[in-house]
Amino acid sequence: MTKLSVNLNKIALLRNSRGADNPGPVYAAEACIAAGAAGITLHLREDRRHAREDDVRAIVRLCRERGVEFNLEGDPRPELCALALELRPTQFTLVPVTPGEVTSDHGWELPRDAELLAPIVNAAQAEGIRVALFMDAEPDRVHLAAQTGADRIEIYTEPYGAAFGTARGARELARVRDSARAAAAAGLGVNAGHDLNLANLPPLAREVPELLEVSIGHALIADALYLGLDEAVRRYVAAAAGVDVASVRTK
């Protein structure tokens, strides 16, 4: 069954907009875990626009205490790699960053980036950290992640999310499915994330049995505004298991 890791960057972003400590990412993490989330994700960006280092430290401790996974995301800049090696999250997801981007919008270019990534992968694994690489849904290229020594890939699912319910939807779903199969054939575990929601997650989970984990933040937190955080997490846990659940209608 596909596990749900809740990305709490939007909680941190809302807190930062007021300059105090409410809402608190740690309290949100506790609520998500209580509602059934298998893990918590934070993407620690260099500009600290949302998650901060103290959030990472506190939530790493919480996840260890509660027996759930912690997934640290970010680009392989030295200070983030050093933090990962110090704190030893369950998973370190390496994501390429373009200066000025609003959010992550592409995967690694392999084999071009392999020389950069391989030493970081090796160093993290030496500390017992599972490493995933953020990759586009390209069935003929995802296997290249294995050449870096990575344990998993995270398939970038924005194109699938954007195409869902349109004439392109089936094609984009097939790209994710075929990428997952190719990755699994290369010995890689498969995660996915970006623009997944209560409508498009269940068919993805059913079509891609190789899927081990989905990391979801924006849509889940948006739905929580209407449903409450506890109910939103419960629905996403069910959706990750392939169960069709009631979605939140938005305009």
**Which one of 43, 50, 143, 158 is the catalytic residue?**
43
Report helix, strand and coil shares of the chain as percent, to nearest 5. Answer: 45, 15, 35
Is the distance from CB of 59 to CB of 12 less than 8 angstroms?
Answer: no
Q: Is 154 a catalytic site residue? A: no
Would you state the structure tokens that stand for residue 142, as one six-digit string? 């995802």
Q: Is 3 helix (H, G, I), strand (E, B) or coil?
A: strand
Q: Give the DSSP letter of residue 247.
A: P
CA atoms within 13 Å, Cβ hemisphere of 6: 33
Rounded distance between C-alpha atoms, residue 95 and residue 85, angstroms: 17
Q: Is 218 a catalytic site residue? A: no
Q: Is 235 helix (H, G, I), strand (E, B) or coil?
A: helix
**Which one of 50, 69, 73, 210 is the catalytic residue?**
73
**Which one of 69, 143, 172, 194 is the catalytic residue?**
194
Catalytic center residues: 43, 73, 194
